[in-house]
Amino acid sequence: MKRFHYSTYRKLGGTLFIAPWIIGFVLFMALPLLYSFYMSFHQVKITATGIHTTYKGLYYYNFILFENAGLLYDQLIPFLREALFMLPVIVVFSLLVAIMLNQKFWGRTFFRAVFFLPVIFTTGQVVTELIGQGQGNIDFLTSYHLSDLANTYLPASWAGPITNILDSFVLILWYSGVQILIFLAGRQTISPSVYEAARIDGANPWDTFWKITLPAMIPFVLLNFIYTTVDLFTFPSNPILTQVNIKDYGKSSALAWIYFAIIFLFLGLIFWLFNRLSRQSRVSDV
């Protein structure tokens, strides 16, 4: 009887472990995605006798992008401007909090739990309700009329998104729980001996942050930018989420795929920027 090589057993074991995920992805993700792509080219009617489709070609894509483009250009673009501001705010805030929570102090576990609790309790419906009640804003923004200053000194196309971010700043920071956890795990991968050697060489905390902590955390910064981008595109104030109509599956499917393309472009831009920065850092090291 022919015996398999040890590497073959390892590959077989890995395949068996990942097989449930692959089967679940194909059945519950890949097939529905492909079917929604198919429906985006058809008019779909659900009757008592079944699902009936009529081929419409690129009609829905043309209708959304050109004939009825108010949703994309009047509502989505301001939201994308908000996302451009919220991305660095959330990532930088998460990085700083993770560094502080990594220090040794009394009640550290409690504070870690406090920062992660909103991830558990704050569902989309809860955030929508809080925003609707005017909660989550910071009082001193109103006291010092910062919104009025933004409207006075900034173009209207940028003043609106910035004002919306300031009005729900606390709620935005609530979306930082997972990012803090990722940064905290990344910070703990850095050996304490590296910081000890830096202190012996006379480096201060500012130098160790820029020379040791931040370069070692770059992969986790990229990961958090990806996660935050996807998370923000499901934010309750997203205009696309409020336009999905289950009575018109063809149009809704086309809108979803256009939205997916926009998210994909955002992620591609993030990968391009990080790839460019990593190349520049390698050149500077040489």
Question: Over the stretch 182-207, which tens digit does the pLDDT of each residue have?
Answer: 999 999 888 889 888 888 888 888 88
Segments making up each domain of the chain, as ranges: 69-243
| H-helix or E-strand spanning residue 34 | helix 31-39
3-state secondary structure of 281: helix
Instruction: Specify the DSSP class assigned to residue 27.
Output: I
In 3D space, the residue among 245, 249, 243 whose CA is nearest the CA of residue 40 turns out to be 249
Question: Over the stretch 271-283, which tens digit does the pLDDT of each residue have?
Answer: 888 888 777 766 5
> Which pLDDT value is given to residue 1?
44
The residue that leads in pLDDT, 51 or 165, is: 51
CATH fourth-level superfamily of 69-243: MetI-like (1.10.3720.10)
Chain centre to alpha carbon of residue 75? 19
**3-state DSSP of 38-90:** HHCCEEEEEECCEEEEEECCCHHHHHHHHHCCHHHHHHHHHHHHHHHHHHHHH
pTM: 0.75
* Least trusted range by pLDDT, from 100-114, 208-222, 228-242: 228-242
